[in-house]
Amino acid sequence: MAVHGEGAERLERQLTILMAARLALAIASLGIALALEAAGGNITITEWHGFYGAVALAFVATLVYRPFLGRIRRPRAFAAVNIATDIGIVSTLVLFSGGKDSVFVFLYMAVSIYAAMFFRRGAAIGWGAVAGLAYGAVLVAGQRGLQIAGAPASPTPMLFTVWAVHSGALVLVAALTSFLARELERTGRALDERTSDLVRLLTLHQRTVESLRSGLLTTDDRGRVTSFNPEAERITGETLARALHRDVEEILPGVRDVIHEFGGLGTRGRARMPYENLRGEELFLGIGTYILRDAAGAPAGHVVIFQDVSDVVEMERELSRSERLAAVGELSASIAHEIRNPLAAISGSIEVMRAKQEERTAESARLMDIVVREVDRLNRLIGDFLHFARPGPLAIGPVRVGEVVEEVMEMFEATRAAEVDVAYAVDDGLAVCADASALRQVLWNLVLNASQAMPDGGMLCVDAHPVQHGPSQDAHHGGRREAEEKAMWVEIAVMDQGVGISAEAAERVFDPFYTTRAGGTGLGLATVHRIVDDHGGLVRLERGCGDWSTVVRVLLPRAEAA
């Protein structure tokens, strides 16, 4: 019966071992003969010829059979030929070394054992019987004078007893070895299956951990890092080699408090904390901690899972800001209308008094001028306030960014301080879907704010270029942002080298009426935020970006150039 696949490969490996064992036994037999002669044994020339013949036969058989390995179609038949050859070699050794008294009779046992390794129980018992018959033939040959000269003849009953005992032992050994070989084979297959399952599980575990979009690390009971997945490397900037065996507090400062707060109680803990990675990026991390248990269920450390939730924090701020803006807008519109009517009445009355007063003193005229001027200022402020609270409809269409930037920079040139240098770069043909006047107002407010942040001078730069990803659609914009992953957007960045802004102030700069400048109304950046939000875009402020103290980035949907 032909054997294919892994079974054939296993048989070929066993045949290779058999051939090597044949040579080793032949050489060992020759060594035993030499040892016997050295110990005073009388080995005749005929015996030496027998030893040499057996060793030569072993070498010849190996040289003849070895080239067939890897090309035979019936490995078991080839194994049978090898076993028969080995029985012949052993019989030759036994015949020329004393027959029943030979020290090499045990080699029949060795042949029976490895025959049982190749064949199932019935065939293995058959080979044990063949070895017994071969031994019987050697005994008969010796009894009839075919043995070496000088060997004493033995009574037939005794020879039969010797043969029966040896043959029975050979058959029994073959049966037992076959049984053990089959059990070993089954155990090996089961072990291979379990090993394969374990390898698959380990591979699945490794791929799962590597594919997680969350950072994952584990610690031992002393808080030292024992594993660190690729996402953890990306978030923290640490490498696996650097992170292993370090205290977890060195990797994620503050995480030990989370572990102690929740882990010691046997509960799962979640927290959010600010974090600065090795690249200097200021992030917010959402952290979950879990107790890591060993096979016995005892605590052996902790599992820490963390994510970069900076976008979520920013969205929460946007939501909070939008809610405040909505409330302020409703309130401000009502208040502005209530204030505007009395202002109009006051302004009109003063104008009438100034026109009818025949004899006006210089002091009264000055006071009336002050009243009129302040009423006009209040009226303009309320007008801006109403424009912020209740903006008019937008005329959305393709707008060339380069043209708007040039117009704004020309307007700014008239008021630019001598210490402020200006530069701008806009990709040719770049256009956005926007209201032209609204976009002009956004840029003007941002440029004006940037220049006011540089009392000692510096560089002010406006850069516009396309980007692949824009703001994702989220709940607090009511579905107005319909950005798809493959959509193209335009980023307009206004950068300055001014005095910068504190982290606390950066969180509130888009709130209405919040200002860090004396005399400011706090409506400029709030208006920018509202306009960009109405366009389905995104505006964010960044501190300390390379050579720039402050960078305000505006993302708007890209359009084909008009």
- pLDDT tens-digit series, residues 506-519: 777 777 666 666 55
pLDDT for residue 3 is more than 60: no
Task: Average the pLDDT over each of 161-170, 361-370, 401-410, 467-476 and give the range with the smallest value.
Answer: 467-476
pLDDT for residue 268 is more than 80: no
Helices (H), 359-422: 362-389, 401-413
Task: Average the pLDDT over each of 59-63, 96-100, 166-170, 350-354 and give the range with the smallest value.
Answer: 350-354
Q: Which pLDDT band holds residue 480 (cuts at 50, 70, 90)?
A: very low
Q: What pLDDT shows up at residue 384?
A: 61
Q: What pLDDT shows up at residue 493?
A: 92
Residues of the chain with pLDDT > 90, as a percent, come to 3
Task: Average the pLDDT over each of 277-281, 430-434, 468-472 and give the range with the smallest value.
Answer: 468-472
Q: Residue 405: which residues within 8 A CB-CB, separation 6 or more?
A: 424, 426, 443, 462, 464, 492
Q: What pLDDT shows up at residue 484?
A: 40
Rounded Cα distance between 242 and 251, Å, is 10
pLDDT for residue 279 is more than 60: yes
pLDDT for residue 197 is more than 80: yes
64-73, 231-240, 465-474: range with highest mean pLDDT: 231-240
Are residues 535 and 481 in contact, defined by beta-carbon separation less than 8 angstroms?
no
The CATH number of 397-559, from 3.30.565.10, 3.40.50.10320, 3.40.50.2300, 3.40.50.300, is 3.30.565.10
Q: What is the per-residue pLDDT across 398-422, written as a single tens digit (0 to 9) for each?
A: 888 888 888 888 888 878 888 888 8
**Residue-range domain boundaries for the chain:** 5-191, 215-308, 314-389, 397-559
Rounded Cα distance between 71 and 75, Å, is 9
Task: Average the pLDDT over each of 18-22, 442-446, 499-503 and give the range with the smallest value.
Answer: 18-22
SS3 for 476? helix
pTM for this model (two decimals): 0.44
Q: What pLDDT shows up at residue 59?
A: 74
Residue with tokens 């409506």: 523
Are residues 48 and 34 in contact, defined by beta-carbon separation less than 8 angstroms?
no
Q: What pLDDT shows up at residue 473?
A: 41
Q: What pLDDT shows up at residue 16?
A: 75
When pLDDT is averaged across residues 219-226 and rounded to a whole number, the result is 90
Q: Which pLDDT band holds residue 316 (cuts at 50, 70, 90)?
A: confident
Q: What distances in angstroms separate CA 522 from CA 140, 241, 517, 528, one per listed residue?
A: 120, 49, 9, 11
52-61, 346-355, 549-558: range with highest mean pLDDT: 549-558
Q: What pLDDT shows up at residue 343?
A: 67
Give the count of beta carbons closer than 10 Å to the beta carbon of residue 283. Answer: 19
Q: Which helix (H) or strand (E) holds 547?
A: none
pLDDT for residue 162 is more than 70: yes
Rounded Cα distance between 130 and 86, Å, is 12
pLDDT for residue 356 is more than 70: no
Q: Residue 393: which residues within 8 A CB-CB, separation 6 or more?
A: none
Burial annotation 28-42 (CB, 10 A radius, 16+ → b, else e): ebbeebeeeeeeeee
Residue 433 dihedral angles phi and psi, to the nearest 5°: -85, 105
When pLDDT is averaged across residues 150-169 and rounded to a whole number, the result is 72
pLDDT for residue 469 is more than 70: no
Task: Average the pLDDT over each of 104-108, 114-118, 375-379, 418-422 and give the range with the smallest value.
Answer: 375-379
Q: What pLDDT shows up at residue 494?
A: 92
Are residues 487 and 466 in contact, defined by beta-carbon separation less than 8 angstroms?
no
Residue type, 66: R
When pLDDT is averaged across residues 254-271 and rounded to a whole number, the result is 67
Residue with tokens 């052993």: 90
Q: Domain 215-308 in CATH: superfamily?
A: PAS domain (3.30.450.20)
Task: Average the pLDDT over each of 27-36, 220-229, 243-252 and give the range with the smallest value.
Answer: 27-36
Torsion over CA: 127, 133, 136, 141 (sign): negative
Q: What pLDDT shows up at residue 224?
A: 92
Residue with tokens 């027959």: 99
CB-based contacts of 551-554 (< 8 A; 24+ apart in sequence): 551/493, 551/494, 551/495, 552/446, 552/449, 552/450, 552/493, 552/494, 552/495, 552/528, 553/491, 553/492, 553/493, 554/442, 554/446, 554/491, 554/492, 554/493, 554/494, 554/528
Higher pLDDT, 155 or 471: 155
Residue type, 108: Y
Task: Average the pLDDT over each of 137-146, 236-245, 269-278, 289-298 and give the range with the smallest value.
Answer: 137-146
When pLDDT is averaged across residues 264-269 and rounded to a whole number, the result is 51
Tokens at residue 216, please? 């994952």
Task: Average the pLDDT over each of 157-161, 279-283, 398-402 and give the range with the smallest value.
Answer: 157-161
Q: Residue 547: which residues within 8 A CB-CB, separation 6 or more?
A: 497
Question: Across the chain, what does the average pLDDT equal?
Answer: 76
DSSP one-letter string for 172-199: HHHHHHHHHHHHHHHHHHHHHHHHHHHH
| Residue 459 bridge partners (DSSP) | 421
Higher pLDDT, 139 or 551: 551
56-70, 128-142, 297-311: range with highest mean pLDDT: 297-311
| Residue 227 bridge partners (DSSP) | 218
When pLDDT is averaged across residues 492-499 and rounded to a whole number, the result is 89
C-alpha angle 271/274/277, rounded to 5°? 120
Q: What distances in angstroms separate CA 499 from CA 281, 421, 456, one per listed residue?
A: 20, 15, 9
Residues in the chain: 562
Tokens at residue 414, please? 């008239």
Higher pLDDT, 119 or 354: 119
Q: Which helix (H) or strand (E) holds 546?
A: none
Number of helices (H), then strands (E), belonging to the chain: the values are: 16, 12
pLDDT for residue 57 is more than 80: no
Q: What pLDDT shows up at residue 476?
A: 36
Strand-strand pairing, 225-228 and 397-400? unpaired
